Copies of this chain bind each other. A is one copy, B any other.
Amino acid sequence: MIDSSVAVSCSNCSVRRLCLPAGLSLEDIARLEQVTRKKKVIKAGESLYRPGDSFQNLYAIRSGSFKSVIIAADGDTQVTHFALPGELLGLDAYSKQVHSSYAEALEDSSVCRLPFVQLEILAQQVPALQQQIYSIFSEELRQENEILMLLGKRSADTRLAALLINISSRYASRGYSHSEFILSMPRTDIANYLGLTAETVSRLFSRFQRQNLIRVNGRVVQVIDLLGLSELAGTHCGYEGDI
């Protein structure tokens, strides 16, 4: 449950520039750390919360990755997001004070548990934090709009290309290689997220490899032709283009 002897805090967190502390003064970060103190380790396949759970906390990802999934009345599921370190999970539960989705770790991961009431109170006192919260909400809305276009208008290959570009750029902004990475999710999750079937996704991976756009081996992906892939994605590659 607790990470180590060395204090884990926002100030020395590797993703602080992408997370809640972004834009805060050192002083304000110190106050934020009072809220973000509780760490939690989540093993692959475990859930942070499930539909029906009451909304108490936001979770900031420290390491690992998650998928957000909603479940329809008929049991059908939709993966709505793949979340990486620095991102916040749980925002969509505020209005109903109950989670309507679940967040499952795709690999062994760790998160900061943020009691929202406390965060809310602090934000009331720290305008920069307030703004950062708005910003995160707003950015998430913007991103969902892009995914809407992806699902509504784009062909299967464009969708997968866009996801690869997206993941690549998000890894890059976290200091990892953008040309070689390991997908932490199975094909079925990718397919579900993109509104396709696992078979189609598999075929596309094979085709992209034949076209020398990427090299795939199971979940290991090597981007060979980033430009070609971007063209396929039509630069509709979603968020975090730079930073």
| Residue positions of A touching B, CB distance < 8 A | 68, 70, 72-74, 76, 78, 80, 91-96, 100-101, 120, 123-124, 127, 130-131, 133-142, 144-149, 151-153, 192-195, 234-236
Q: Say what secondary structure dominates the interface of chain A.
A: helix
Q: How many angstroms from the CA of A76 to the CA of B158 in the assembled complex? A: 14
With both chains docked as a complex, state the minimum distance between the C-beta of A126 and any C-beta of chain B, in angstroms.
10
A120 adjacent to B124 (CB under 8 Å): no
Q: How many angstroms from the CA of A95 to the CA of B236 in the assembled complex? A: 19
A80 adjacent to B145 (CB under 8 Å): yes
B151 adjacent to A152 (CB under 8 Å): yes
Q: How many angstroms from the CA of A204 to the CA of B208 in the assembled complex? A: 36
Contacts of A135 in B (CB 8 A): 94-95
B138 adjacent to A78 (CB under 8 Å): no
Contacts of A133 in B (CB 8 A): 134
- Nearest to A96 among chain B residues (CB) is B142
Given known pairs A73-B236, A153-B195, the reply for A92 and B147 (CB within 8 Å) is no
Contacts of A92 in B (CB 8 A): 138, 141-142, 145
With both chains docked as a complex, state the minimum distance between the C-beta of A34 and any C-beta of chain B, in angstroms.
19
Contacts of A95 in B (CB 8 A): 134-136, 138-139, 142
Contacts of A73 in B (CB 8 A): 234-236
With both chains docked as a complex, state the minimum distance between the C-beta of A190 and any C-beta of chain B, in angstroms.
12
Q: How many angstroms from the CA of A193 to the CA of B153 in the assembled complex? A: 10
A72 adjacent to B137 (CB under 8 Å): no
- Nearest to A134 among chain B residues (CB) is B94
Contacts of A137 in B (CB 8 A): 91, 94, 134, 137-138, 141
B70 adjacent to A146 (CB under 8 Å): yes
With both chains docked as a complex, state the minimum distance between the C-beta of A134 and any C-beta of chain B, in angstroms.
5
